[in-house]
Amino acid sequence: MTRIEPTPRELVKGMIASYEKYVGKDLRSLDDCLAHTQNLWVGTVDNDPVCAWGLVPPTLLSDEAYLWMILLEGAEDHTFVLVRQSQIQMAAMLDIYPVIRGHCEIDNASAQRWLRWLGAEFGYPDDRLIPFVIKRNG
């Protein structure tokens, strides 16, 4: 069974730390993101985590947030279900923050495809990253 649901910070931190091979030296910056993340979700397949993401607002009163995401082993095997579940969660996120921004590695085609399915529009690349924005319709 595939699910995406809100998850407590402590559980996400432990989950990501156990998958250090995916985040490598970026584990410290991910810890910083977690410290400022207001909303966290984890996607699981048969109770095994395959992705996690969170929203970091610049201020408590902001109507925008920064999206970070990590895909783990197994996510690619369940793309269709995870994308559909992600679209449902993105609609809920856009109810909280009407504008969601982020950056994606320029050479990560699967992440860019995933973000496009979620409604992302991409800007111009800056070094190794490409900015994106997802806006609530209406």
Cα-based angle 126, 128, 133 (whole degrees, multiple of 5): 60
Domain residue limits, the chain? 2-103
Q: State the pLDDT confidence band at 76, using cuts at 50, 70 and 90.
A: low
- CATH of the structural domain 2-103, one choice from 3.40.50.620, 3.40.50.300, 3.50.50.60, 3.40.630.30: 3.40.630.30
Identify whether the C-beta of residue 87 lies closer than 8 Å to the C-beta of residue 118.
yes
Express each pLDDT in 14-23 by its tens digit.
666 655 555 5
CA atoms of 94 and 96, how far apart (whole Å): 5
Does 35 have pLDDT greater than 70?
yes
Residue 102: predicted pLDDT: 92
CA atoms of 123 and 111, how far apart (whole Å): 15
Residue scoring higher pLDDT (123 or 69): 123
Residue 135: predicted pLDDT: 96
Express each pLDDT in 101-124 by its tens digit.
999 889 888 788 889 988 999 999
Residue 51: predicted pLDDT: 77
Judged by average pLDDT, the poorest of 31-35, 74-78, 103-107 is 74-78
Residue scoring higher pLDDT (90 or 82): 90
What mean pLDDT do residues 56-70 have? Answer: 86
Does 132 have pLDDT greater than 70?
yes
Three-class SS of the chain: CEEEEECCHHHHHHHHHHCHHHHHHHHHHHHHHHHHCCEEEEEEECCEEEEEEEEECCCCCCCEEEEEEEECCCCHHHHHHHHHHHHHHHHHHHHHCCEEEEEEECCCHHHHHHHHHCCCEECCCECCEEEEEEECCC
pTM over 0.95? The answer is: no
